[in-house]
Structure 1
Amino acid sequence: MNKINKDLVEGENKAPFVIELDPTTVCDLACPGCISGDLLNQKNPLDRGFSKDKIKEITDDIIKSGVSAVILIGGGEPLAHPTTIELIKRLGENDVQIGLTTNGTLMGRYIDIIAKYVSWTRVSMDVATDEMFKNLRPTKTGKSKFNLVVENMKKLANKKRGILGYSFLLRTMADGLIENPAGSNIGVIEHTNVYEIYDAAKLSKEIGCDYFELKPSYDDFHQIVMHSEKDIQIAKTQLEMSRNLEDQNFRVLESVMLRSALKREKVGEQEKKYKKCQSANLRTLITPSGCYVCPYFRGENSKKIGDLRFETLSEMWNGKLRKRVMDKLNPSIDCSNLHCIRHETNQEVDFIIDQFKHKKKIKDKALPRKDYFI
């Protein structure tokens, strides 16, 4: 029985195995319909981002606690924090695996360190052209950084030891004419990107990415957006065209729930019969304004399990507040109407625990490389 399985069954893990960390809420882009739009660029300095000293403390805490992997995400652009790159270097030097989700605009100055220490980097692109980037991923002044991001990705592709991915989120009129998170009318969703799926996949391969990933869009309640029949048919055709680009060095991936989006299935049909979220016992979300059971409840007070501005990682994870929130958390009720990317993980972990409890043998699944991101 490996350590993760043993700790899961016996409930003894004294720290999360995986941490999703928002170093900052600051972002240099102003993407319309951003699911974290109301959390970006907080005015209160305490909520805006961790202090430099606090990032160092959190880094030391992570290493000391034996956390296996950290995913830098947002809530904000991770690389916008002035000490994120120091965090990456220190975690990497101490054998903590690192995942990075980024908009790619600030990677250029940190290519060497990212290439050396980051296990995987996923760049949110959603487009294949400069013009569409200006529509869907503009700066606050309405400019496009598309060419800069492409160049940064090329530089990383030439030096990387880990995996580089090109993320493409479906965006159409069905996402709504949502005001820009920056508080202006720049880049409201008036354009669809489905016509650029193939060209984006082709570009990602030319850049030197390991994969291109097509993702469904979600509303503020984490329900799949119902795109029009016309847009979905175009997306399906473009996806199939993209598959012809695959070879031994490049893959086209479908994100969780993409099939449901392409079938235009009704939202809220991911039935959760389990009453405990095992994923929340494996991993957690840390943000400048507090720690939460998972990213779906980022910023929701009832799912806040602690605050690393005022306590250590160990105090939070083993504290009374987290225990109280976790005891109340019931996925069959609290998460019944959202599409959770950890749903299959929860089912698999429940199965493993049941097998162990009944003293049945579990076959280990071989992975192409050691991966502790669960």
Structure 2
Amino acid sequence: MLKEWTDKWNPFNSDKLLTHIYRWREIKRNLPIPLPVTISIDPINRCDLKCSWCNADFILKKNQGKLDSNTLKELPFFLAEWQSNSDFKKGVETVCIGGGGESLMNKDVSQLINNCYEVGIETGIVTNGTNIDKHIQSLIKCTWVGISVDAGSSETYQLLKGRDFFDKVINNIRELIKLSSENKSSPLAQPGQGPGVSLKYLLNPKNVGEIYQAAKIAKEIGCKNMHIRPSGESWDKIGQNKDIFTYSDIEEFREQVVKARSLEDEFFKVFGITHKFDGNFRKQNEFTQCHAIFMTGVFMPPSGGGKFNFGFCCDRRGDQNLTLSNLTSFEEVANFWGSEEHWKIFDKIKPKTCPRCTYQPHNIIFENVIKKNNTTYHFI
């Protein structure tokens, strides 16, 4: 059986979630609950590529808005001071910038990153890399930057993404790594597998044969690691498609990963992230309820006259059942957090109707460690 990684001490190992159980065990109805560990921010719902598998296709068609300059400027200060109850620690610890589009197409993202850095919030960002050069001085203030390259050649890149930006993206990554290495105080330049630049590879039958080729490029330009994950169905298309991957695709994936891992050394690793899927790369939501909506949230562009929307699931962007729409004040989120209305959203979620769940490990840990205490975690 192919292991997901050769070194378990890595940023993609969901076992790290166990460090948060003392926070999450306070998630109880009719009581104040802790703040999210991580908040996601979607700066803009537009993109300059046309990826064939895009799971944001729904939101890109319905809402091409963006978060305005003032919202992005002020949000970090709210997150740093947010406190749900005096018994709980104040402030959100980390921010993940990504979204329903290409985050760096919003010109004010640099200000968002700078302000997060100023108030002590660690930041990570997922980007397609086409606009790195426009924000490069701010990006070195991130803890990690993940670039979705998804190909090992310009031909496959253009086939999957509809634009010929492969060489531009690779050069942008190279320049970002170079700049961060020249700035030793940069969070991006810190040692270990967590901080740094990661080449992301969303697996598709048309790119499965270029994993090794992409890994060679990633190592050559100085990436800390390569992160491979299968693509899947988006929430609005559940049950409409047959299996994406054939048996031969999966066998080739295994062969390619073994070959790519021959490139590993102290400074470069290859992570094949498959623990959120079954053996055929289908969704595997092995939990009964979604407590993750009390662990994280997403600030998104407004869909009407407000300043922003707030979503409770990054896998269901645009689902109105999981969205507070057209809010005008951050305090509206603070007042909603842990309220009975929040719990009513929890009551309505049926995991069987969800796509592959980003938060599956969160929910499995909650149900088996906190609700059932299967691990007697108080003992060491």
Give yes or no for contact 2:69–2:108 (8 Å, CA) kept in 1: yes
Give the whole-Å Cα distance in 2 for the aligned partners of 1:133 and 1:96. 34
SS where residue 25 of structure 2 aligns?
Answer: helix
Give the whole-Å Cα distance in 1 for the aligned partners of 2:217 and 2:71. 39
Distance 1:124 1:225, change over 3 A: farther
Alignment of 1:143-292 (within 5 A): 143-158=163-178, 159=180, 160-161=188-189, 162-172=195-205, 192-221=206-235, 225-257=243-275, 260=278, 263-264=279-280, 267=282, 269-272=284-287, 274-275=288-289, 277-289=290-302, 290-292=309-311
SS where residue 113 of structure 2 aligns?
Answer: helix
Give the whole-Å Cα distance in 2 for the aligned partners of 1:119 and 1:321. 34
1:21-44 CA deviation, whole Å, 9 max, x = no partner?
11110211122231111212756x
Shift of 1:71: 0.3
Aligned pair partner of 2:317 in 298, 304, 322 = 298
Give the whole-Å Cα distance in 1 for the aligned partners of 2:295 and 2:315. 15
SS where residue 299 of structure 1 aligns?
Answer: coil
Give the whole-Å Cα distance in 2 for the aligned partners of 1:114 and 1:362. 41
Aligned pair partner of 1:109 in 134, 139, 144 = 134
Give yes or no for contact 1:270–1:336 (8 Å, CA) kept in 2: no
Give the whole-Å Cα distance in 2 for the aligned partners of 1:72 and 1:338. 21
Q: What is the RMSD of the two structures over their aligned residues, measured on CA atoms?
A: 2.8
Give the whole-Å Cα distance in 2 for the aligned partners of 1:114 and 1:197. 26
Please say which of residues 280-289 and 7-16 is displaced more in the overlay.
Answer: 7-16
Give the whole-Å Cα distance in 2 for the aligned partners of 1:319 and 1:51. 28
Identity %: 23
Shift of 1:9: 2.5
Q: Which letter does structure 1 place at the counterpart of 2:361?
A: E
Question: Which residue does 2:358 correspond to in 1?
Answer: 341
Please say which of residues 53-62 and 237-246 is displaced more in the overlay.
Answer: 53-62
Distance 1:90 1:225, change over 3 A: farther
Please say which of residues 203-212 and 4-13 is displaced more in the overlay.
Answer: 4-13
Question: Which residue does 1:176 correspond to in 2?
Answer: none
Give yes or no for contact 2:315–2:358 (8 Å, CA) kept in 1: no
Q: Which letter does structure 1 place at the counterpart of 2:118?
A: E
SS where residue 254 of structure 2 aligns?
Answer: helix
Give yes or no for contact 1:52–1:83 (8 Å, CA) kept in 2: yes
The normalised TM-score by structure 1 is 0.78
Q: Which letter does structure 2 place at the counterpart of 1:299?
A: G
Structure 2: gaps (5+ residues)? 1-17, 83-90, 181-187, 190-194, 303-308
Distance 1:219 1:5, change over 3 A: closer
Give the whole-Å Cα distance in 2 for the aligned partners of 1:239 and 1:294. 30
Give the whole-Å Cα distance in 2 for the aligned partners of 1:57 and 1:285. 16
Give yes or no for contact 1:39–1:75 (8 Å, CA) kept in 2: yes
1:296-352 CA deviation, whole Å, 9 max, x = no partner?
2211111224554455331342555423212x144xx33465332322222223344
Give the whole-Å Cα distance in 1 for the aligned partners of 2:265 and 2:61. 41
1:135-184 CA deviation, whole Å, 9 max, x = no partner?
1123xxxx411111111111122213232111111222xxxxxxxxxxxx
Give yes or no for contact 2:53–2:231 (8 Å, CA) kept in 1: no
Shift of 1:353: 2.5
SS where residue 246 of structure 1 aligns?
Answer: coil
Alignment of 1:133-152 (within 5 A): 133-138=157-162, 143-152=163-172
Give the whole-Å Cα distance in 2 for the aligned partners of 1:337 and 1:62. 28
Give yes or no for contact 1:306–1:321 (8 Å, CA) kept in 2: no
Q: Which letter does structure 1 place at the counterpart of 2:360?
A: H
Aligned residues: 327
Give the whole-Å Cα distance in 1 for the aligned partners of 2:59 and 2:151. 24
Give yes or no for contact 1:40–1:75 (8 Å, CA) kept in 2: yes
Distance 1:25 1:9, change over 3 A: same
Aligned pair partner of 2:59 in 32, 39, 42 = 39
Give the whole-Å Cα distance in 1 for the aligned partners of 2:376 and 2:272. 36
Distance 1:68 1:356, change over 3 A: farther
The normalised TM-score by structure 2 is 0.77
Distance 1:14 1:208, change over 3 A: same
